[in-house]
C-alpha cells in the first residue's frame, strides 16, 4: 500500500518536477529498501501490541495445556497464554501488505498459504482449549489439511504457468550441481512429479517447526536466523545479475517475496521479546504451523527446496529425531518384542532436557547451531 501511494501514485505523477521530496520517493522502487522497512514494521507491531494481546489471552483464559508424560519442569508453564502466533502472522501480513508490490502472484500465494496453515493451527489450539487437554486435531486431520494446501499451491503454479504466462520451471534445483539450475535441464521432472515434492516440503516444514516449538524462545529464535538467511537467498535468486553470477535458478517473479521474508524475520524478533525464557506467551500451533508453511512455500517459489534443509538445519534435526525414535521403537518391538528408544525423549530438545540441561542452555546452543547452519548455507552460494 505504501509502495503504491508513495511511488506509483506520487512519484510517477510528479517525477518531472524538480522537487527534492518527490525525487526522494524514488527509493521505494527498490526491494531492498522496502524489505528493510518491512522488517522494522514486523518488529514494531509485536512490540507495540504484544502486552495488550497477552492480557487479552489471559482474560479469555487461553492457556497452554501440558502433556502429562512430558518433562515435569514444564508443568509450571500450564496456563501460560498461548495462541500468540496470531501476533506473528498478523505482523507479517500487515507488513507485507504495506511494503510489497501487491501485483505479485507469489506474494499472494505465500500470504494465503501462511494464513491457511495458521487456520489449521488455530483450529488445533482451539480444540485443545475446549477439551482442556494437550491433544487437539488428530495427526491424520492435520496431514489432510496440510495436503490440501499443498494441492492449492501446486494448482496456482500449474494454472498460472499453463494459462497465464507465468513461468515456473518444473526442475529440481539441487545445491552444488550447476546443471540443475537450468530450466528444463537435466533435473526437469515435470509438474506432476513436482507436486509430490511440493507436498513433502509443505507438510514436512510445517510439522518440523511445530515439533521444534517446545521450549521458551527455541522455535522463534531459530525462525529468525532461518528467515534472515532465506531473505538473502530470495533476493539473490530474484536478481538477474546475482542469479547468473552464482548459478542460481533465476526467479524474477520472486523478488517481492524478499519483503515477505524480511517481515517474517522482523516479526520473529518482535515475538521473541515476549517468548524469551521465561516466556510470557507461547505461539501455539497457529504460529508454528504458519511459520513452517511460510518457509516451505518460499522455498518452493524460489526453487530452494533442498537448500532449506541446510538453512533450517535445527528444524530438520528436531523432526529427524522424532522419525528415528518412532522407527527404531517399532523395529525393535517387532524383532525383540520390547520397543527400545534411541533418545530419552523426543523431539530432540527434550532429550537434552531429560539429560539435565537447563532450558536456556538448550535454547542458546540451538541458536548457535542455527547461526552455523545459516552461515554454511550462505557459504555454498558460489559452490557449483
Instruction: List the grid coordinates of 58.
Output: 489471559
Specify the pLDDT at position 16. 60
User: Can you give the pLDDT at residue 337?
Assistant: 80
pLDDT at residue 194, rounded to an integer: 95
CA atoms of 288 and 308, how far apart (whole Å): 16
Task: Provide CB contacts within 8 A for 342, sequence distance 6+.
Answer: 321, 324, 325, 328
pLDDT number for residue 310: 94
DSSP state of 27: G
pLDDT along the chain (384 residues), means of 10: 70 61 72 95 97 91 63 63 94 96 94 98 86 73 96 95 82 79 76 96 96 94 97 91 81 91 98 93 95 97 92 96 93 86 92 91 96 93 74
Q: Is the peptide bond before 278 cis (omega within 30 degrees of 0)?
A: yes
| Res 296: pLDDT | 97
Q: Are 264 and 94 in contact (CB under 8 A)?
A: no
Q: How many CB atoms lie within 10 A of CB 167?
A: 10
Where exactly are the structural domains of the chain? Answer: 2-305
Q: What does DSSP assign to residue 249?
A: P
- pTM greater than the 0.85 cutoff: yes
**Rounded to an integer, what distance in angstroms lies between the CA atom of residue 265 and that of residue 82?**
20
Q: Which residues lie across from 302 on neighbouring strands?
A: none
Q: Which three cell numbers mark 39?
A: 522488517
pLDDT at 305: 93
Kindly provide the residue ranges of all beta strands, DSSP E only, lying in the chain, ordered along the sequence. none
Residue 7: the pLDDT is 64
Amino acid at each position: 500500500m505504501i509502495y503504491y501511494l508513495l511511488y506509483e501514485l506520487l512519484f510517477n505523477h510528479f517525477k518531472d518536477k524538480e522537487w527534492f521530496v518527490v525525487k526522494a520517493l524514488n527509493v521505494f522502487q527498490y526491494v531492498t529498501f522496502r524489505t528493510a522497512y518491512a522488517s522494522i514494521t514486523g518488529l514494531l507491531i509485536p512490540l507495540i501490541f504484544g502486552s495488550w494481546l497477552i492480557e487479552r489471552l489471559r482474560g479469555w483464559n487461553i492457556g497452554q495445556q501440558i502433556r502429562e508424560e512430558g518433562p515435569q519442569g514444564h508443568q509450571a508453564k500450564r496456563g501460560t497464554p498461548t495462541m500468540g502466533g496470531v501476533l506473528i502472522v498478523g505482523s507479517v501480513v500487515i507488513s507485507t501488505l504495506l511494503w510489497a508490490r501487491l501485483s505479485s502472484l507469489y506474494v499472494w500465494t505465500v500470504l494465503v498459504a501462511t494464513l491457511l496453515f495458521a487456520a489449521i493451527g488455530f483450529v488445533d489450539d482451539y480444540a485443545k482449549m475446549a477439551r482442556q487437554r494437550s491433544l487437539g486435531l488428530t495427526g491424520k486431520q492435520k496431514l489432510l489439511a496440510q495436503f490440501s494446501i499443498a494441492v492449492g499451491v501446486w494448482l496456482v503454479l500449474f494454472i498460472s504457468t499453463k494459462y497465464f504466462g507465468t513461468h515456473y520451471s518444473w526442475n529440481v534445483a539441487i545445491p552444488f550441481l550447476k546443471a540443475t539450475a537450468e530450466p528444463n535441464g537435466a533435473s526437469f521432472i515435470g509438474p506432476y512429479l513436482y507436486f509430490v515434492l511440493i507436498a513433502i516440503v509443505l507438510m514436512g516444514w510445517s510439522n518440523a517447526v511445530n515439533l521444534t516449538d517446545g521450549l521458551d524462545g527455541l522455535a522463534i529464535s531459530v525462525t529468525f536466523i532461518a528467515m534472515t538467511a532465506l531473505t538473502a537467498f530470495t533476493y539473490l535468486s530474484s536478481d538477474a545479475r546475482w542469479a547468473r553470477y552464482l548459478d542460481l535458478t533465476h526467479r524474477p517473479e520472486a523478488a517481492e517475496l524478499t519483503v515477505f521474508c524480511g517481515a517474517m524475520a522482523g516479526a520473529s524478533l518482535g515475538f521473541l521479546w515476549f517468548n524469551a525464557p521465561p516466556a510470557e506467551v507461547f505461539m501455539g500451533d497457529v504460529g508454528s504451523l504458519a511459520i513452517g508453511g511460510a518457509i516451505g512455500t518460499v522455498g518452493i517459489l524460489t526453487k530452494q527446496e533442498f537448500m532449506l534443509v541446510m538453512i533450517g538445519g535445527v528444524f530438520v534435526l528436531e523432526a529427524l529425531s522424532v522419525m528415528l525414535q518412532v522407527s527404531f521403537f517399532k523395529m525393535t518391538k517387532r524383532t525383540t518384542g520390547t520397543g527400545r528408544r534411541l533418545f530419552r525423549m523426543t523431539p530432540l530438545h527434550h532429550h537434552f532436557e531429560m539429560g539435565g540441561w537447563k532450558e536456556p542452555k538448550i535454547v542458546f546452543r540451538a541458536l548457535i547451531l542455527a547461526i552455523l547452519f545459516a552461515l554454511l548455507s550462505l557459504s555454498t552460494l558460489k559452490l557449483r
